[in-house]
Structure formats: C-alpha cells, structure tokens
Amino acid sequence: MEQSGKPPGRDQIRAPLTRDWIMKQSSGAVLFVCLGNICRSPLAEAAFRREAQRAGLTVDIDSAGTGGWHAGEPPDPRAQTIAWRHGVDISDYRARQISADDFKRFTHIIALDRDNLAALRRLRPKDCLASLSLLLDEVPGREGQSVADPYYGGLKDFEVTWADVSAGAASLALRLLRGRNTPSD
C-alpha cells in the first residue's frame, strides 16, 4: 500500500525488483517448478533458501510441480540424501502442484527445464505479472539449458542436479541483490 492507503498503481507493480523493494514488501517471491516437485525443484528451493539467507535477502521461496502425481509426498530419498550431504534438510518439504494463485503470489516463477517452462506459459493467466524463466538462464554460458531430471538415475545424477541448482541459486540471489529484475537486465 502507498502512504495514501491506496493500493499501488499498475505502473508501480511493474517496477523492476530491487533489494529495497524486496525488503519494503517484506518479501519478494520465487517459485521453483519441475514436473513432480520431488527432485529438482525441492533441491532448487533449498539451494536458493541458503543463498538468499547468505545474501541477506528476505524472499518468500517455495517449489511446485506442473504435475500432481506426488502431491503431499516428501522429496525423493535420493534428493534428501544429497541435500543432507550439503548441509540442508528438506525432509519436511511436501510436493504440491502449481495453482492459479501461484501466478499472483510469486514475482518470479522459475522452471527447471524447457518442457515445464512451456507448460507454465500455457497455464499463465493473461494478467500475470510474474516473470517466467529457466533456472540455468541465471548462469552465464548455461542460458536456455535445462537442469537434467535425475529421477531415473543414481546419487551421482542427483549430485549433478545439486551442482546445477546451486549455481543457478547463487546467480539468482546475486541478481536480486543487485536489483535486476530479469537475467537479461
């Protein structure tokens, strides 16, 4: 709300995110999205929580899947193992499917792969102001690339996923700290 007590105008809502804006709003909002919300997106959420905390950002962070097959389930045990190895506990996370409200709640909706980005673009309401992008668009030299789905692999594949989401999370936190709204700003 503005000081006048009126909600901000449309031009104010579209203003680029800055660290001051994020802090004044009590939080920015970032949603990580993969297919089932049990492997990649929970790891991305955890990696970004850690990076945001290190950077001093107050950001609302969550993850979801475009599919609802695993709704209510904890992350894959292999994802939990890899997160634990990196000092992060994701055992209390629960999978959920993206909802229409997410397009209003989050300022940044970040897909882990191109297929899920395409699905998000189809689901996106016309009045949605959230930016949609790929996580690896945040990493110089990795633009347009997907984070590989480790579901059918082993712990080594989950370790590669952790490395990818950690790199993306660190770059995203730095970008938000610098006040840039999109990777290309």
pLDDT at 11 over 80: no
Say which of 39, 40, 102, 137 is annotated catalytic: 40
Say which of 62, 76, 113, 149 is annotated catalytic: 149
User: How confident is the model at residue 28, as a pLDDT?
Assistant: 79
> Which residue range is the domain that position 109 belongs to?
17-171
Residue 4 within a domain: no
pLDDT digit string, tens, across residues 73-100: 999 999 999 999 999 999 999 999 999 9
Residue 79 within a domain: yes
User: How confident is the model at residue 181, as a pLDDT?
Assistant: 52
CA–CA gap between residue 59 and residue 22 (Å, rounded): 7
60 included as an active-site residue: no
Residue 10 within a domain: no
Give the per-residue SS3 of the chain.
Answer: CCCCCCCCCHHHHCCCCCHHHHHHCCCEEEEEEECCCCCHHHHHHHHHHHHHHHHCCCEEEEEEECCCCCCCCCCCHHHHHHHHHCCCCCCCCCCCECCCCHHHHCCEEEECCHHHHHHHHHHCCCCCCCEEEEHHHHCCCCCCCCCCCCCCCCHHHHHHHHHHHHHHHHHHHHHHHCCCCCCCC
Amino acid, single-letter form, for residue 83: A
Residue 119 within a domain: yes
pLDDT digit string, tens, across residues 13-54: 444 444 444 444 434 799 999 999 999 999 999 999 999 999
CA–CA gap between residue 167 and residue 15 (Å, rounded): 27
Amino acid, single-letter form, for residue 122: R
pLDDT, mean over the chain: 87
Residue 146 within a domain: yes
pLDDT at 10 over 50: no
pLDDT-derived band at 8 (thresholds 50, 70, 90) equals very low
Residue 58 within a domain: yes
pLDDT-derived band at 180 (thresholds 50, 70, 90) equals low
Query: For the chain, how many structural domains are there in total?
Result: 1
128 included as an active-site residue: no
| CATH code of the domain containing 69 | 3.40.50.2300
More confident residue, 67 or 7: 67
User: How confident is the model at residue 141, as a pLDDT?
Assistant: 97
50 included as an active-site residue: no
pLDDT digit string, tens, across residues 115-168: 999 999 999 999 998 999 999 999 999 999 999 999 999 999 999 999 999 999
Residue 179 within a domain: no
What are residue 126's phi and psi, to 5 degrees?
Answer: -60, -30
Residue 57 within a domain: yes
Of the candidates 98, 157, 146, the one whose C-alpha atom is nearest the C-alpha of residue 122 is 98
